Amino acid sequence: MADDRVVVAAGVGAPRLVEAGVIRTSRSDALADRLIEIRSGLAAVLEEFKPDAVAVEALYSHYRHPRTAILMGHARGIVLAAAAEAGARVESYGATRIKKVLVGSGHASKQQIQRAIQSAFRLQETPYPPDVADALAVALCHAHHAGRVAHAR
């Protein structure tokens, strides 16, 4: 089980990548221990950077993989609780919306998303592992949405 962590500074000008990484846990550990490890790692990131908001991807499950959906639900609950404890509001975005914001199509491929992220942050290479690219996509979608909301006020 892993939980992606990305810190993007958004405000005036283009979003800026501050930090990106993955909180990994051992598959051999008990689920409760893995969730505690994710919570501790995320709490440290939230304490260090004190974000106003935490953006997450909306849960999606496929009927062929119900166990994955349940595990993701546990991890997502930890993320939501840690964000709330840190005083950060939580924004959730569906995969189709994220893709549409980044590349203009809700059916964009992983490669298109990675190229959009690489371009937006002027990275030399595509983000690795792919989980980090997914988290960056969510962060960029939120930065875009937050910028539009702030601009409309």
Domain ranges within the chain, ordered by starting residue: 2-152
Written out in words, the top-level CATH class of the domain with range 2-152 is alpha beta
CA distances from 26 to 13, 31, 80 (A): 39, 10, 22
The two beta strands, 16-24 and 53-57, are: unpaired
Q: Residue 150: which pLDDT band, with cuts at 50, 70 and 90?
A: very low
Distance CA 91, CA 69 (A): 19
What does the pLDDT read at residue 91?
95
Amino acid code (one letter) for 50: K
The string of DSSP codes covering 104-126 is S-TT--HHHHHHHHHHHTT-SS-
The SS3 of residue 17 is strand
- Tokens describing residue 134: 């997914």
List pLDDT tens digits, range 90-109.
999 999 999 999 999 999 99
> Is 60 exceeded by the pLDDT of residue 151?
no
> Is 50 exceeded by the pLDDT of residue 152?
no
